[in-house]
């Protein structure tokens, strides 16, 4: 394979002194054929704040390059990346010339990212006619937009066509993000996993990358940082960016894929460059695991935190969302995590009824002393619900504090749950 360097590259109509796009793995070339998507998943990270109800972020408006121009520009390049070239979006199959692009590219190991809501049989026929296959593909199940059976049938069809050498089917692991789940989506996911098992289709957990270095992806402030980008992002209009955030904002383009001779060289792998937008990084990009940052003040190099807190977004969630997520955690046997969410809900509302839920969560988590305090406080603050009193007495019995509990109940004001 030809390598980047100082030699003169010549192929097709391209003649450039130094090839501007890095080739070595893990520099990943990504063609975002369209920013559009035919789904609107609540957990989509292509939005400003990864919160339930916040719609997918509308990126800058791009003129979508016709298929012929994609094919001509990419086939004219004198070199190919070591890593597969990813066709993605939004949903790349929405590009009106998607098949023309996929079947027309020469010499690339193609990877496809898609939600599978496209005509697989037609795509397979076109690829076969062109004597082409995708090297790999990545398909994530969206319980909000497709039935489990349809997803598995589509996965099976994709496998049967042989259109992709290494397809991966997955789901977004929202285990620790209950605010994005409902009983219904939980049940659909479980049905999908069973259907996959029945048909022998392996399904992978897909990490939910919705935080910024372990903190909320809040875009509250920017600071200057040294960044090492590992991506070549080509926007729907052919402009090239070093990171997804800059692509979505159409800022700091290195040039256009159609005029490769004029493209400024993207930073080589591992080389730091200064960026003033740190803090607004797109979570998809910066959480890929390949990028790293260096603090110009201290020289300290750091990367993403794969163990980012599940509490990252609690500050922005409504009390109802927090309480709902907390109760879901408790129901699923994660009492401590549930207590953390319920506590955050109570902090926002000071609603004594939430203290009952919090007390029960703490009790389930084996924290009887804290649970007792919560239930007592709930009653003292006027929770009239007899269930709270029942819980309180049961816990008092279990922990040998019956007499003390009786005294507390007697001291409650009239109208409270005495």
Residues near ligand SF4 (CB under 6 A): 37, 39-41, 44, 46, 56, 90-91, 115, 142, 225, 227, 229, 242-243, 245-246, 275, 277-278, 280-281, 285-286
In the complex, the smallest distance separating the C-beta of residue 142 from ligand SF4, rounded to whole angstroms, is 5
b/e 147-183 (16+ beta carbons within 10 angstroms → b) = ebeebbebbbebbebebbeebbbebbebeebbbbbbe
In the complex, the smallest distance separating the C-beta of residue 166 from ligand SF4, rounded to whole angstroms, is 20
Question: Given the complex with ligand SF4, which of 44 and 342 has the nearer CB atom?
Answer: 44
Please give the Cα distance from 289 to 74 (Å, whole number): 26
Question: Given the complex with ligand SF4, which of 278 and 346 has the nearer CB atom?
Answer: 278
In sequence order, which residues have a C-beta less than 8 Å from that of residue 293 and are 6 or more positions away? 213, 225, 226, 227, 228, 278, 301, 302, 303
In sequence order, the β-bridge partners of residue 141 are 171
Phi and psi at residue 15, in whole multiples of 5°? Answer: -140, 110
Question: Given the complex with ligand SF4, which of 104 and 167 has the nearer CB atom?
Answer: 167
In the complex, the smallest distance separating the C-beta of residue 398 from ligand SF4, rounded to whole angstroms, is 45
Question: Given the complex with ligand SF4, which of 142 and 179 has the nearer CB atom?
Answer: 142
Question: Given the complex with ligand SF4, which of 45 and 323 has the nearer CB atom?
Answer: 45
Question: Given the complex with ligand SF4, which of 59 and 346 has the nearer CB atom?
Answer: 59
In the complex, the smallest distance separating the C-beta of residue 324 from ligand SF4, rounded to whole angstroms, is 21
Place of tokens 């992002």: 233
In the complex, the smallest distance separating the C-beta of residue 48 from ligand SF4, rounded to whole angstroms, is 13
Please give the Cα distance from 317 to 345 (Å, whole number): 9
Cβ neighbourhood burial of 413 (10 Å; 0-12, 13-18, 19+): exposed
b/e 378-399 (16+ beta carbons within 10 angstroms → b) = bbbeebeeeebbebbbebbeee
In the complex, the smallest distance separating the C-beta of residue 269 from ligand SF4, rounded to whole angstroms, is 14
Q: Smallest Cα–Cα separation from 302: which of 291, 311, 313?
A: 291
In the complex, the smallest distance separating the C-beta of residue 229 from ligand SF4, rounded to whole angstroms, is 6
Question: Given the complex with ligand SF4, which of 312 and 342 has the nearer CB atom?
Answer: 312
């Amino acid at each position: 394979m030809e390598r980047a360097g100082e030699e003169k590259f010549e192929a097709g109509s391209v003649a450039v002194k130094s090839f501007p796009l890095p080739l070595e793995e893990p520099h990943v070339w990504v063609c975002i054929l369209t920013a559009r998507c035919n789904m609107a998943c609540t957990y989509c990270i292509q939005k400003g704040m990864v919160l339930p109800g916040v719609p997918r972020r509308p990126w800058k408006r791009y003129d979508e390059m016709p298929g012929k121009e994609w094919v001509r520009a990419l086939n004219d390049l004198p070199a190919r990346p070591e890593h597969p070239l990813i066709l993605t979006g939004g949903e790349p199959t929405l590009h009106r010339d998607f098949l023309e692009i996929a079947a027309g590219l020469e010499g690339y190991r193609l990877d496809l990212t898609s939600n599978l809501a496209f005509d697989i049989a037609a795509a397979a026929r076109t690829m076969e006619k062109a004597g082409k296959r995708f090297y790999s593909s990545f398909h994530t199940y969206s319980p909000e937009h497709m039935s489990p059976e349809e997803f598995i049938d589509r996965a099976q069809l994709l496998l049967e066509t042989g259109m992709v050498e290494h397809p991966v089917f997955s789901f977004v692991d929202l285990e620790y993000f209950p605010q994005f789940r409902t009983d219904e989506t939980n049940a659909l996911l479980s049905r999908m996993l069973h259907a996959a098992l029945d048909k022998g289709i392996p399904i992978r957990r897909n990490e939910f990358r919705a935080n910024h270095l372990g903190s909320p992806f809040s875009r509250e402030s920017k600071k200057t940082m040294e960044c090492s980008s590992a991506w070549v992002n080509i926007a729907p209009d052919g402009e090239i960016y070093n990171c997804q955030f800059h692509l979505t904002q159409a800022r700091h383009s290195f040039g256009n894929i159609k005029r490769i001779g004029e493209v400024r060289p993207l930073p080589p792998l591992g080389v730091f460059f200064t960026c003033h937008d740190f803090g607004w990084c797109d979570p998809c990009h910066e959480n890929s695991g390949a990028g790293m940052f260096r603090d110009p003040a201290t020289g300290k190099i750091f990367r993403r935190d794969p163990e980012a807190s599940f509490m990252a977004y609690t500050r922005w969630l409504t009390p109802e969302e927090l309480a709902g997520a907390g109760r879901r955690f408790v129901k699923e046997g994660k009492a401590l995590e549930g207590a953390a969410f319920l506590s955050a809900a109570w902090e926002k509302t000071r609603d004594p009824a939430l203290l009952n839920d919090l007390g029960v969560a703490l009790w389930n988590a084996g924290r009887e002393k804290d649970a007792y305090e919560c239930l007592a406080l709930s009653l003292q603050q006027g929770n009239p619900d007899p269930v709270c009193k029942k819980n309180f007495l049961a816990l008092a019995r279990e922990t040998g504090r019956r007499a003390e509990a009786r005294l507390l109940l007697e001291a409650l004001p009239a109208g409270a749950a005495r």
